[in-house]
Amino acid sequence: MNYIDFKSPTQLDEARTLLKELGESAMPVAGSTLHVFLRDESPKVAVDIARLGLSGIRLVDGIFHIGATTTVTALHEHDQPGWVLDRVASEFVTQPIRNMATIGGSSVRVFPWSDLPVALLALNAAMVITGDEERTLDAETFFASQPFHHFALGDLLTSVRVPALTAGQGFAYLKDRRTSTDFSRCTVAAWLSLEDGKIAGVRVAVGAAVPMPCRMPDVEQALMGARPGPKKFEEAVQAGLDTARWKGLHGISDEYARHLASILIVDVLNRAHQEAKGE
Ligand SMILES: Cc1cc2nc3c(=O)[nH]c(=O)nc-3n(C[C@H](O)[C@H](O)[C@H](O)COP(=O)(O)OP(=O)(O)OC[C@H]3O[C@@H](n4cnc5c(N)ncnc54)[C@H](O)[C@@H]3O)c2cc1C
């Protein structure tokens, strides 16, 4: 990136006005950790959005409201019943990056290996965009294509809403990488809800081994209403695996990416099931 100026507004309206006035030459900046990957060399004015009062985590009627500039470290350190994003944050590369990277920056520009979108898809998060009017997109719509395409000039992601886990529900998140600081080769997350010993709700999401993080609808469909268990999970994963377009990253073949995903998805489903049973 080629920054030629830096603006530091302290009010959301002020930031939005600046972004609109500066137009294509402006770039919102939160933790600024992703900028090393952006190839745009045109002169840009950085508009810092970290001082707009958009960080923090509040539980409101069973939903966690997470401000867009909440850092990954804050996600990691938060501790409240029903909170699960600490499990994802702990897998997020190194502590210095976690201290700067925000949930908003991680969600607006997505790479195949991005951690948080996979978890947000499995958790059925709601993404709140503040423009001239506020609008909320469900995670599946938000992540269906590169999310910044949803944004008009001056729009900002202001909040991410994640339902708290309740009794009878489980969540698990796993990623495979060659070293602890490497990018993921396959990331998976599962959310599962039990009623009378059967699966009443399930969401499975995958990243890194596919071009963009996505859900696995055929796996989910094969599990709805079923009695959960390792064998059932394996059958459902085999039945639903081919709806995704597998793409090996970091030197692994597409076939190996598919195989890796098949193992990890069964693993997260088993873990989510254990938690839903209260174990
Ligand atoms: C060495 C290294 C390793 C990394 N490893 C990982 C990893 O393991 N997993 C992973 O997921 N990521 C990883 N990343 C990527 C990066 O840290 C994340 O994507 C990061 O979370 C981006 O957040 P940020 O706050 O730094 O965003 P920024 O860099 O500030 O912004 C990213 C983009 O989003 C836009 N933006 C930011 N916030 C908003 C908002 N609220 N509204 C609208 N637009 C907004 C910006 O304009 C910019 O285009 C790594 C990065 C580095 C440098």
Is the CB of residue 18 less than 8 Å from the CB of residue 7?
Answer: yes
Judge if 173 and 260 occupy the same domain. yes
Measured in Å, residue 109 CA sits from the centre of ligand 1 at 7
CB 239 within 8 A of CB 219: yes
Instruction: Based on the fold, state whether residues 229 and 175 are members of the same structural domain.
Output: yes
Give yes or no: residues 35 and 116 share one domain: no
Q: Looking at the structure, do residues 131 and 158 belong to the same domain, yes or no?
A: yes
From the CA of 97, give the closest atom in ligand 1: 17
Ligand 1 centroid distance, CA of 35 (Å): 7
Q: Residue 156's domain is classified under what CATH number? A: 3.30.465.10
**Residue 36: per-residue pLDDT:** 81
Radius of gyration of the chain (CA): 19
**Residue among 55, 62, 60 at smallest CA distance from 77:** 55
Domain that holds residue 175: 169-276
At residue 196, does pLDDT exceed 90? yes
Q: What is the pLDDT of residues 36-92, one digit of tens each?
A: 888 878 889 999 999 999 999 999 999 999 999 999 999 999 999 999 999 999 999
78-94 confidence digits (pLDDT tens): 999 999 999 999 999 89
The full DSSP string for 223-249 is HTTSPP-HHHHHHHHHHHGGGS-----
* Ligand 1 centre distance from Cα of residue 38 (Å): 10
Q: How far from 258 is each of 10, 15, 265, CA to CA, in Å?
A: 46, 43, 10
Report the atom number in ligand 1 closest to the C-alpha of 29.
30
Q: What are the residues whose beta carbons fall under 8 Å from the beta carbon of 235, sequence distance 6 or more?
A: 222
CB 89, CB 57: distance < 8 Å: no
Distance between CA atoms of residues 123 and 184, nearest Å = 20
Q: For residue range 260-277, what is the model confidence (pLDDT) as tens digits? A: 999 999 999 999 999 999
Same domain, 243 and 149: no
**Interval 129-147 mean pLDDT:** 97
268 C-alpha to ligand 1 centroid (Å): 25
How far, in Å, from the CA of 200 to the mean position of ligand 1? 34
Coil/strand/helix, residue 14:
helix
DSSP 92-134: SS-HHHHHH-BHHHHHHS--TT-HHHHHHHHTT-EEEEESSSE
Q: Which of 85, 97, 156 to mutate to test the pocket of ligand 1 (most atoms within 8 A of CB)?
A: 97
> Is it the case that residue 1 has pLDDT exceeding 80?
no
Atom of ligand 1 nearest to the CA of 33: 26
Kindly indicate the confidence band of residue 250, based on its pLDDT and cuts at 50, 70 and 90: confident
**In angstroms, rounded to a whole number, what is the distance separating the alpha carbons of residues 138 and 162?**
10
Same domain, 111 and 126: yes
The answer on 240 and 264 residing in a single domain is yes
Nearest CA, atom 23, ligand 1: 105
> Going by CA atoms, what residue is nearest to atom 4 of ligand 1?
93
Q: How confident is the model at residue 72, as a pLDDT?
A: 98
Task: Find the residues whose C-beta lies inside 6 A of ligand 1.
Answer: 27-36, 49, 68, 92-93, 97, 100-102, 104-106, 108-109, 114-115, 156-157, 183
